[in-house]
């Protein structure tokens, strides 16, 4: 098995987990970590017996692939430099700050035949992977992603911070273009949007109602999918899957019998699965489950939702002023 030399650019809260996962993988050499903070870079490098860099351009000279885990505003600059050096890239969500930047990265990767993968982690949640075989024809989807407030992640609003995960999952299971989007949101504790709701109506008639918040006292991450003769529910946090199917056979009460499937996958690690997938894509030159194109697709919907929220805020500026 070919050993893959991997680096991590940005080893703050999330990047340090990338570094730890790579360091523990067979067939992978964690060739170095880079961070603008020499203290942070040195600490993480020492923890995993690798080299620390403060200039990521030096790191990409010695690796085959990198995880880009820097602030969103720096995603394009860093990823473009990596692709320009022939380095495969896993870029955390949101992929970029604009569709123009996303298109440029996709074009660079295509031209150079490089891997460009987007870090939309819920695609590797084991309950989501198990859900796929039970999806038939979604008619109505209800999604909630409610988080306790944390100071990290507030460089973007809640749509790019949280809702983009749900957008990505919904787009992956509904085989139809979006017809209309209706969105509202409000700032509560930051100057950006902290709570938002979007209703996505697809051309085939499916409707998805998506609510996100980062100002709750409790955490809840769940999607429920209603389709002909069945109901599918995933609790992302608990990694639980519930499927209820209505059968043709009648019970003693004269009502249709139900087939119920319940499973929990807590022993499986979504981040490890995502990074192993990236490494295997690098090794085998295979298309990622969540490529730059899927990242761009989710980003496009998120940007439209943000635009609608801003328009709503401008109309009601006195009410929505923080």
pLDDT at 192: 85
For the record, the structure tokens of 165 come out as 């995960």
The CATH architecture assigned to 123-266+301-315 reads 2-Layer Sandwich (3.30)
Give φ, ψ of 277 to 5 degrees.
Answer: -60, -45
pLDDT at 322: 53
Tell which residue, 72, 320, 322, 313, has the closest CA to residue 183: 313
pLDDT at 250: 79
Q: Give the three-class secondary structure for 216.
A: strand
pLDDT at 152: 66
Percent of the chain having pLDDT more than 70?
97
The whole-number average pLDDT for the span 31-44 is 98
Crossing angle of the two packed helices 292-315 and 164-173, in degrees rounded to 10: 120
Tell which residue, 302, 318, 315, 241, has the closest CA to residue 93: 302
- As to burial, measured by CB atoms within 10 angstroms (0-12 exposed, 13-18 middle, 19+ buried), residue 79 is buried
The whole-number average pLDDT for the span 132-139 is 97
Distance CA 123, CA 115 (A): 17
- Chain centroid to Cα 286, Å, comes to 20
Pinpoint the residues of the chain covered by CATH 3.30.360.10: 123-266+301-315
Distances (CA, A) of 8 to 70, 90, 170, 209, 302: 10, 10, 29, 35, 26
146: pLDDT strictly greater than 90: yes
pLDDT digits (tens, 9 = 90+) for 51-97: 999 999 999 999 999 999 999 999 999 999 999 999 999 999 999 99
The whole-number average pLDDT for the span 269-280 is 97
Pinpoint the residues of the chain covered by CATH 3.40.50.720: 4-114
Angle at 128 between CA 166 and CA 198, to 5 degrees: 15
| pLDDT band of 315, cuts 50, 70, 90 | confident
Percent of the chain having pLDDT more than 90?
86
Distance CA 119, CA 69 (A): 9
The whole-number average pLDDT for the span 242-258 is 86
Q: Is the peptide bond before 243 cis (omega within 30 degrees of 0)?
A: no
Distance CA 79, CA 82 (A): 5
- What are the beta bridge partners of residue 262? 242
Looking at 174-289, list the stretches that DSSP marks H as alpha helix, in order from N- to C-terminal side. Answer: 270-284
| pLDDT band of 321, cuts 50, 70, 90 | low
Distance CA 173, CA 16 (A): 31
Distance CA 239, CA 114 (A): 32
For the record, the structure tokens of 151 come out as 């100071």
Q: Dihedral sign for Cα 58, 59, 64, 68, please.
A: negative
pLDDT digits (tens, 9 = 90+) for 54-66: 999 999 999 999 9
Task: Tell me the pLDDT of the chain averaged across its residues.
Answer: 94
Distance CA 167, CA 150 (A): 22
Give φ, ψ of 175 to 5 degrees.
Answer: -90, 65
pLDDT at 181: 97
247: pLDDT strictly greater than 90: no
CATH 3.40.50.300 holds for 4-114: no
For the record, the structure tokens of 311 come out as 């328009």
Contact call for residues 305 and 198 (beta carbons, < 8 A): yes
Q: Indicate the pairing of strand 220-227 with strand 207-216.
A: unpaired
């Amino acid at each position: 098995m070919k050993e893959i030399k991997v680096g991590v650019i940005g080893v703050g809260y999330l990047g340090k987990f990338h570094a730890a996962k790579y360091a523990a993988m067979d067939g992978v050499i964690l060739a170095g970590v880079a961070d603008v903070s020499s203290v942070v870079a040195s600490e993480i490098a020492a923890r995993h017996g690798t080299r620390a860099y403060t200039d990521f351009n030096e790191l990409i000279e010695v690796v085959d692939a990198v995880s880009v885990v820097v602030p969103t505003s720096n995603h394009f600059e860093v990823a473009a430099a990596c692709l320009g050096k022939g380095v495969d890239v896993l870029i955390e969500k949101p992929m970029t700050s604009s569709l123009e930047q996303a298109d440029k990265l996709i074009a660079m990767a295509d031209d150079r035949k490089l891997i460009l993968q987007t870090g939309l982690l819920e695609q590797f949640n084991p309950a989501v992977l198990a859900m796929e075989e039970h999806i038939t024809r979604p008619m109505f989807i209800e999604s909630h992603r409610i988080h306790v407030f944390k100071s990290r992640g507030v460089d973007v609003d809640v749509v790019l911070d949280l809702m983009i995960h749900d957008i990505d999952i919904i787009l992956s299971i509904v085989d139809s273009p979006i017809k209309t989007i209706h969105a509202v949101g409000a700032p509560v504790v930051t100057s950006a949007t902290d709570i938002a709701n979007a209703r996505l109506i697809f051309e085939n008639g499916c409707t998805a109602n998506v609510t996100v918040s980062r100002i709750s006292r409790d955490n809840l991450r769940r999607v429920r999918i209603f389709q002909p003769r069945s109901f599918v529910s995933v609790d992302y946090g608990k990694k639980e899957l519930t499927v209820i199917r209505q059968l043709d056979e009648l019970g003693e009460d004269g009502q249709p019998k139900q087939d119920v499937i319940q499973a929990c996958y807590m022993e499986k690690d979504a981040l490890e699965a995502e990074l192993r997938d990236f490494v295997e894509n690098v090794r085998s030159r295979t298309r990622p489950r969540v490529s730059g194109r899927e990242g761009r697709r989710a980003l496009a919907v998120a940007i439209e939702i943000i635009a609608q929220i801003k328009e709503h805020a401008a109309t009601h500026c006195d009410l929505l002023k923080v």
